Amino acid sequence: MPPASEAAMASPAAEEPDALTYLSYPTSPSLSNLTGAEFCGPAADHNAALQSLGRPHVDSFNFMLGDGLAMAVRDMEPVEFSVPETDHRVKLQMHECAIERPQLASNAVAEERRVFPAEARQRGTGYRGECKIVCRYGTF
């Protein structure tokens, strides 16, 4: 059996971090990091991985409002029913559907009527737009 190395024979206390390391943590709140010269605005180059974290969600949402909604409308079967008073049959089919961009009400006093997601989160309100549907119908 080979002899044990000196590092393996060292006492366990030598492997522990210095006790002063734990004392370097702040003991009270401080704004010292906010007053430095390097803290004056966003960095010139952002971390690409962090910037792209939300991209799949945004892309999915945009697809749903555009092509996804149009595909859903195309997949919907027309509804046929009869009107009992006239014995006519009616065929109702959804033709188009669009969700408008969120905006303030028309009676609101504001220079900018558009609403952005961050603004809706800060206000604690919904981020919703008006849904407009065009239907076609026929009788036979």
Q: What is the pLDDT of residues 4-60, one digit of tens each?
A: 545 445 555 555 555 555 556 777 887 777 777 767 666 677 777 777 888 999 899
Q: What is the pLDDT of residues 126-136, one digit of tens each?
A: 889 999 999 99
Q: What is the pLDDT of residues 91-123, one digit of tens each?
A: 999 999 999 999 988 888 888 889 998 999 998
pTM more than 0.85: no
**Per-residue burial over 7-45, b = 16 or more CB atoms within 10 Å of its CB, e = otherwise:** eeeeeeeeeeeeeeeeeeeeeeeeeeeeeeeeeeeeeee
In a domain, 107, yes or no: yes
Element (H, E) at 110: none
Q: Give the structural domain span for 93.
A: 50-140
CA separation for the pair 92, 79 (Å, rounded): 5
Q: For residues 35, 39, 41 and 43, what is the CA-based torsion angle, rounded to 10 degrees?
A: 180
In a domain, 76, yes or no: yes
In a domain, 86, yes or no: yes
Task: Give 7's Cβ-side CA count (13 Å radius).
Answer: 1
Q: How many domains does the chain have?
A: 1
In a domain, 116, yes or no: yes
In a domain, 31, yes or no: no
In a domain, 128, yes or no: yes
In a domain, 89, yes or no: yes
In a domain, 140, yes or no: yes
8 A C-beta contact, residue 135 and residue 95: yes
